[in-house]
Chains A and B, each alone.
Chain A
Amino acid sequence: MTDRQIVIPGEIIAENTNALPGENTIKEDGNIKAQRYGLAEVSKELIKVIPLSGAYLPRRGNIIIGEVKNVLFNGWLINFNGPENGFLSLTEVPMYVNKDGLEEVMKIGDMVTAKIWNINKRGTDLSIKSRGLGKIVGGIIIQVNPHKVPRIIGKEGSMVNLIKSHTGCDLSVGQNGFIHIKGDSTEKEIFAKKAILFVEKNSINNGLTENITKWFEKNKN
């Protein structure tokens, strides 16, 4: 098990060590310093800082959930709480769309699951050419801290699967912190929402999987 503690920028995490500086850290005179506010993970070979808070910064390959902000002549502008709006081009939609009928596919205010396939100076390009992507119909969407998303997903999706099996709802988690919950009834969806918010709140503590299992037993009915 690795040691975990909250560190602030400029704080020395380890003195006179042979460990290598990982993400968000720097090595100065043999000491490893944090360069960002977050959770320091100290192991023998590597020391890194895991971010805890802050804005979402998009990365190529991320799956995001966003809202259609505008319909242009060759695509849609999608807001996903990033630094700028993403552009979903008509060529990245896996179906035939009439040039005059973009609004029939998605209109302003619709929610969409998309993948970031390119980020360049001109902007962020999105795609829905994959399974599970596209316009969202039905269910509820909740927003959580984007840095807690890895905890909500768990190791290889273990946490998501746990919540899915206990609540009977279908979940799709966007890396930007938006989560789409779809179940048979609103009660089930709200139950799943509560479970996710519990995971978000208790994500720093060790033994999260045990805690959530206990929580499910306590709140089952």
Chain B
Amino acid sequence: MAEKFKRMDGRELTEMRPIAAKVGIIPNADGSAMFKSGKTIAYAAVYGPREHHPRNARNPKKGTLRCRYNMISFSVNDRIRPGPSRRSTEISKITEWAIAPVLMLESFPGMVIDVHINIIQADAGTRCAGINAAVMALAHAGIPMKDMVSSISAGKLDKTLVIDLDKAEEDFEEGEGPTDIPVSVTHSGKVTHLQLDGKINKEELKNAIKMAVTACDEVYDIQKKALKNVGQLIEGAKK
């Protein structure tokens, strides 16, 4: 085997950035949570179930999950224009699809559950952090759920599979360049969301997903601890 691949911030290949979580940060919301992964910080607030407006969008059979992903203008080095963009609309939709399979929306026909995700500091992996925060906030809001969802991104830098890319790694330009694969998994091991940006072959993809599923257990532990200790900042074990 060739020389061992070295990551820019000195992490192991399967080591994620230090994570932290806190539940119950927004008093006015029905449920709220913060999830931090390295320099990425996501805040999620849940309102509802409440009356669904506009009326024509109501589903009389089951409730609707409505997510809004938003990057705050100061979250990145160059100020980003506030308001919805093509990217944020897509991530909002992806978040809905990642979470909806575990929610029991049948209990709230004609109603809506609003999830507002705000990224206050971005360093790659924002959609994963957003999903992690949103799931904790939904549980905190007392929405009936079958399971929890944890999310992490796997990736490939040149020819090496790694876990949890940060911004510097996402801009990695050597060899085959970077591949980013955000994966969301329920605690029972079912994949609810999978995206791929870059190039990867079938075998490598399978391995990358396996790595992500394993890493999600660590995220789940933090989510669980944070929910059991509302109002306390729970930090992951330092390696």
Contacts and interface: CB of A to CB of B under 8 A. Distances in A.
A54 B141 contact: yes
A89 interface: no
Interface stretch (A8-16, A153-161, A166-174): A8-16
A9 B139 contact: yes
Nearest to B60: A121
B51 interface: yes
B143 interface: yes
B227 interface: yes
A114 to B, nearest CB: 19
B111 interface: yes
B94 to A, nearest CB: 21
Contacts of B102: 9-10
**Residue in A6, A55, A83, A121 with the greatest tally of chain B CB atoms within 10 Å:** A55
Nearest to A85: B51
Contact of B146 (A9, A38, A121): A9
Contact of B187 (A10, A24, A38, A147): A10
A37 interface: yes
A83 B48 CA distance: 7
B30 A83 contact: no
A9 B144 contact: yes
A209 interface: no
A110 to B, nearest CB: 22
Interface string B34-63: 000000000000011111000000000000
A53 B140 contact: yes
B48 to A, nearest CB: 6
Interface residues of A, number: 20
A8 B48 contact: no
A36 B228 contact: no
B142 A10 contact: no
Nearest to A7: B228
A219 B40 CA distance: 45
B155 interface: no
A10 B146 contact: yes
Contacts of B228: 6, 8
Interface in A10-26: 10-11, 24
A85 to B, nearest CB: 8
**Residue in B141, B142, B144, B223 with the greatest tally of chain A CB atoms within 10 Å:** B142
Contact of B145 (A35, A51, A147): A35
A38 B227 CA distance: 10
Contacts of B144: 9, 24, 35-36
A186 B111 CA distance: 40
A83 B49 contact: yes
Contacts of A37: 139-140, 142, 145, 227
B176 interface: no
Interface in B124-167: 139-148
Contact of A36 (B51, B111, B145, B188): B145
B233 interface: no
Contacts of A38: 142
B11 interface: no
Contacts of B49: 55, 57, 83
B182 interface: no
Contacts of B147: 9-10
- The list of the 4 closest CB pairs from A to B, nearest first, reads A54-B142, A10-B147, A9-B145, A37-B139
Interface of B: 24, 30-31, 47-51, 102, 104, 108, 110-111, 139-148, 186-188, 223-224, 227-228, 230
Interface of A: 6, 8-11, 24, 35-38, 51-55, 57, 83-84, 121, 147
18 contacts: A6-B228, A8-B227, A9-B145, A10-B146, A10-B186, A35-B104, A35-B144, A35-B145, A35-B146, A36-B145, A37-B139, A37-B142, A53-B31, A55-B48, A83-B50, A83-B51, A83-B111, A84-B51
Given A9-B148, A35-B104, A147-B142, 6 more contacts: A8-B224, A9-B139, A10-B102, A53-B141, A83-B48, A83-B50
